[in-house]
């Protein structure tokens, strides 16, 4: 299945298809790890769940969602090498959860993540395969291909954290009492 932009060459591009699949499997297929991507992991999560931290020094689902959005934005900016607005939240790497952390703010930040994901997918689809081994202009070390593969791994890592936090949220009453699940 060719998931690249319309008008792309008819030649199969296994490298690009594999990179795109790692970012977003085809409909009806799951990620290699068997779970959802970051946007899918947030379905059904409430603002209270998203803002909850298992301990004061740990990140919340909300903070992780914003962090993922920021890095999708950052990789996309390297891929397109075009001026654009700064990331809409700050501080950039782990943006602060808004105050109040209500359902409207949560819905807005989920939309921010979804939009950054869609923009990243567009940028990857537009990237010519011949450029995968090139270092982006202004880049220091990683090639375009390494950036795309890296953001897919970043998504998988933090999505796993989100899934764990969701489970901890469900079991927080048991955790607070020091009981084990039987």
pLDDT in tens, 88-98: 999 889 999 99
Contact predicate 94/67, CB 8 Å: yes
User: Would you kindly state where each structural domain of the chain is located, as residue ranges?
Assistant: 36-172
Tell me: the pLDDT tens digits for 155-170? 999 999 999 999 999 9
152 Cβ contact partners less than 8 Å away, ≥ 6 residues apart:
19, 22, 23
Q: Which tens digit of pLDDT belongs to each residue from 11-38?
A: 558 899 989 988 988 777 777 666 788 9
Q: Are 109 and 62 in contact (CB under 8 A)?
A: yes
pLDDT greater than 70 at residue 177: no
User: Of 40 and 172, which is predicted with more confidence?
Assistant: 40
pLDDT for 176 beyond 70: no
CATH of region 36-172: 1.20.120.450
DSSP structure string for 74-95? HHHHHHH----PPPSSSSSSSP
The pTM of this model reads: 0.87
Tell me what pLDDT residue 174 has.
76
In tens, the pLDDT along 102-117 reads 999 999 999 999 999 9
Using CA atoms, how far residue 75 sits from 42, 130, 136, 156, in Å, is 21, 18, 10, 15
Residues 6+ apart with CB under 8 A from 26: 1, 3
pLDDT for the residue 32: 67
What is the rounded CA–CA span in Å between residue 26 and residue 149?
17
**DSSP assignment, residue 138?**
T
Write down the pLDDT at residue 38. Answer: 93
Pairwise CA distance, residues 14 & 1, whole Å: 10
Locate tokens 């020094």: which residue? 57
């Amino acid at each position: 299945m060719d998931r690249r932009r319309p008008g792309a060459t008819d030649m199969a591009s296994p490298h690009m298809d594999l990179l795109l699949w790692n970012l977003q499997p085809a409909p009806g297929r799951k990620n290699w790890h068997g779970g959802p991507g970051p946007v899918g992991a947030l379905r059904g999560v409430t603002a209270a769940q998203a803002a909850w931290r298992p301990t004061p020094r740990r990140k919340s689902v909300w903070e992780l969602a914003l962090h993922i959005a920021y890095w999708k934005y950052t990789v996309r900016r390297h891929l397109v090498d075009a001026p654009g607005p700064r990331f809409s939240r700050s501080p950039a790497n782990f943006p602060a959860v808004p105050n109040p952390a209500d359902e409207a703010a949560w819905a807005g930040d989920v939309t921010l993540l979804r939009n950054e994901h869609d923009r990243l997918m567009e940028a990857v689809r537009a990237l010519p395969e011949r450029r995968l081994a090139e270092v982006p202009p202004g880049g220091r070390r990683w090639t375009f291909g390494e950036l795309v593969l890296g953001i897919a791994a970043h998504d998988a890592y933090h999505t796993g954290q989100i899934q764990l936090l969701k489970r901890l949220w469900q079991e927080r009453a048991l955790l607070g009492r020091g009981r084990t699940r039987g």
